[in-house]
Structure 1
């Protein structure tokens, strides 16, 4: 509880932080707890843990990372929104990616903030979102997409290769064998590339690859 100059008490903004890196999570929590008028009521490191804890504490605002070990921040926001529509979400990520930005908007995120921002800026965004403001809108995404049309442009070379192999119909195990990496590493790549491309399932990746190949074939036929 905070006390106003007039002696009246006002409720602090309750914040939940979801990030699988404990050091990052604790750093953000310290920023929030030091900021006037807000406090951290829960922390989580996965989608499942985030959903469970949100149901217990009912935070006003969630700060959500896009990459989580058992899914994405998009999955978490969708699940929480279904049962707690009053909880407002802020994406806090390392990826300045238009597809992920669009996916965040689709599941009701109110803001999209890069982890490189200063602590004071995070606190300002939390206050704005708690007050009902939306700092993420379709116009921003449309403007950015005019400049960035390829949803794979932010993928790493390894993630691009995984996209191609998904398009070939390979399973996670087969992709791991083809690239000589662990199957868990393949799953991590898929979680990352889904978030960056703004997709939810690997079947959507396969469909995107098929559509791209069809488009390339059609253009080639036209140019003959």
Structure 2
């Protein structure tokens, strides 16, 4: 689990493309402190396992599900990525509970200046909008942010200048892709409400019970 509070922006050193897979090598510093082989490090909000640790880098493998769902497939050498090490029970929860399981990619549709802040409007598949709540939390490239407005298939977040400097969203331009993780609670509620303990039995053709119910 993560908090959505970005510790640092790392730099992509290399991207190796395999058979429906990627291997990333990322330069960083803070997330390596006390890190161990096999630790989880959220990279643009995607929970990855550190498979190699160096003095100023780590590597991670990305399986097909990760490649398919996230913007990691779009990374190239020199790109910046948001990084956060997984939390412990003693970690202050300054953001919200983030799993590192990205739901989908969003597209940055507009950037609007409003006073000292900038409003970033993101478009996602309409089916994921049911999990986005005004004044609720959403995770964008691993950063925990507050939803400040809603559209049909879009939502907006607002960043102050400090946040713009600390996370990759502040560097993005219209048309860029962003990893989106919606709030975990809504997905569990939906699952509880729609789950049936026993599957409905399918009709096995014409029966006496069917004939009687239908007046025969």
Choose between structure 1 and 2: higher strand proportion.
Answer: 2
Larger relative contact order, structure 1 or 2 (CA cutoff 8 Å, min sep 6): 2
Is TM more than 0.5 here? Answer: no
Choose between structure 1 and 2: higher helix proportion.
Answer: 1
Using the size of structure 1 for normalisation, the TM-score is 0.26
Greater Rg by CA: 2
Using the size of structure 2 for normalisation, the TM-score is 0.26
